[in-house]
Structure 1
Amino acid sequence: MRPLVILSLACLPASPALAAFPCDELWGERNAVYAEAGYCFKTQRGIAAFGNAQCRFSDIRDVPLSARDRAKVAEIVREEARNGCRD
């Protein structure tokens, strides 16, 4: 398995720039938002990438995200769907 590389998409324009990112990087960027907000990962992949040492929310619906983070996650999810990515 390749090491996970998390890139910051915050300064990139919408979809066209995201299209250049492989599924693993999109997954990492999306889940980094949740990790920073305190999500407790359940999958081995999530735990291996982000750990659960500082987690506070077991249900992803309870994770408090800013409007900016919600928009970022939504854009990444759309790009993952366009690219045929699967978790």
Structure 2
Amino acid sequence: MARLFFALLALPLFAAPAYAEFPCDELWGERNAIYDDAGYCFKTARGREAFDNSDCQYDSLEDVPLSARDRQKIAEIQREERRNDCLR
């Protein structure tokens, strides 16, 4: 029991957001990698250059099946993009 108590004391009180130190380009890449893994078909030149559309299945972001965890990650990334004033 004492070991658990001391282990908990070693944890930071406030964990930094996972994407807090990422520059805008990396935030964009992380967010879109989630969509790519789920089968999104990129339409922009930037998206097509960065991701392979050969195995894509969904033309609309609304149709891409995402897990709750993926949606949470995307929301975190988007919050950080807004905080960093990243252009889309």
What TM-score, normalized by structure 2, do the two folds share?
Answer: 0.80
Are 2:42 and 1:41 equivalent residues in the alignment?
Answer: yes
> Could you say what secondary structure the match of 1:40 adopts?
coil
Amino acid paired to 1:58? D
Is 1:74 matched up with 2:71?
no
Equivalence for 1:26: 27
Percent identity among equivalent residues?
65
Whichever residue aligns with residue 73 of structure 1, its letter is I
1:18 alignment partner, SS class: coil
In structure 2, distance between residues paired with 1:38 and 1:61:
12
Cα-to-partner distance string for 1:36-81 (whole Å, 9 max, x where unaligned): 0000000000000002100000000000000000000000000000
The residue matched to 1:56 in structure 2 has which SS?
coil
Query: Which of the two has higher C-alpha Rg?
Result: 2
Instruction: Say what the alpha-carbon RMSD is for the aligned residues.
Output: 1.2
Q: CA deviation at 1:19?
A: 1.8
The number of residues matched between the two structures is 74
Q: Is the 8 A contact 1:39 1:57 kept in 2?
A: yes
Alpha-carbon distance between aligned partners in 2 of 1:67 and 1:14, rounded to the nearest angstrom: 21
Moved over 2 A (4+): none
CA distance in 1, matches of 2:16, 2:49: 28
- TM-score, scaled relative to structure 1: 0.81
Which one has a larger percent helix, Structure 1 or Structure 2?
A: 2
Is contact 1:41-1:58 (8 Å) kept?
yes
Q: Verify the 8 A CA contact 1:19 1:83 in the aligned structure 2.
A: no
Q: Secondary structure at the match of 1:21?
A: coil
